[in-house]
Amino acid sequence: MLKRFIPDLYVDNIFELEPEFLKDKGIKGIITDLDNTLVAWDETDATERVVSWFKQMEENEIDVTIISNNNQKRVKRFSEPLERPYVFSAKKPLKRAFLRAVKKMGYQKNEVAVIGDQLITDILGGNRAGLISILVVPIVKTDDKATRINRKIERRILKHLEKRGLEKWDQKKMKT
């Protein structure tokens, strides 16, 4: 059960994910979380650097879909200026929204990576859906109310993983 919380890859942020690296891994599509993965949870719009990353993915023919447990207003406001498809109220870690996004992209599961900052929603959901999972460090150390509860649970999971020798990333990089 704990193995489902282990990401396939761990990076500090999305900007470490270069198109060439992703293509070498056979990745053609990305499903990315929004809050604390692309921007801070309380920022409404994409930064110039995030916009540039999306353009870089598009220029390299890597499709990106934004998936969030947040409401439609929040996700739409962020996604529409980027002209990116999105899923709101995704109910992560349930795999349904992930699989729907994969189907819309038209790729096989092994060609799609999930990027997110939370083990409980993003990594567990991506792994349950059979996708490549990539954990990033949360952009800010603060979270909204619901996410704070998840972070407490995540710390317990991380301790169990560490005790069992299952974690594959440098624990010191985690800012939770």
Residue boundaries of the structural domains of the chain: 2-167
- What's the DSSP call for residue 123? I
Read off the amino acid at residue 67. I
Which range, of 72-81, 97-106, 157-166, averages the lowest pLDDT?
157-166
E strands of 1-131, at which residues?
9-11, 29-32, 63-67, 86-87, 112-116
Give the domain 2-167 fold. Rossmann fold (3.40.50)
* 41 against 99, higher pLDDT: 99
Those residues whose C-beta lies under 8 Å from the C-beta of residue 176, and which sit 6 or more positions away, are: 138, 141, 151, 154, 155, 158
Give the residue carrying structure tokens 């819309």. 104
* 77 against 173, higher pLDDT: 77
What pLDDT, on the 0 to 100 scale, is given for residue 169?
53
Mean pLDDT of 52-59: 97
What pLDDT, on the 0 to 100 scale, is given for residue 129?
97
Is a pLDDT exceeding 60 seen at residue 108?
yes
Is a pLDDT exceeding 70 seen at residue 168?
no
Is a pLDDT exceeding 50 seen at residue 140?
yes
Helix (H) or strand (E) holding 154: helix 145-164
Give residue-wise pLDDT tens across range 120-136.
Answer: 899 999 999 999 999 99
Those residues whose C-beta lies under 8 Å from the C-beta of residue 67, and which sit 6 or more positions away, are: 31, 32, 33, 34, 86, 87, 90, 92, 97, 98, 101, 114
Give residue-wise pLDDT tens across range 74-91.
Answer: 999 999 999 999 999 999
Confidence of residue 158 (pLDDT cuts 50, 70, 90): confident
Q: Which two tokens stand for residue 132?
A: 């490549």
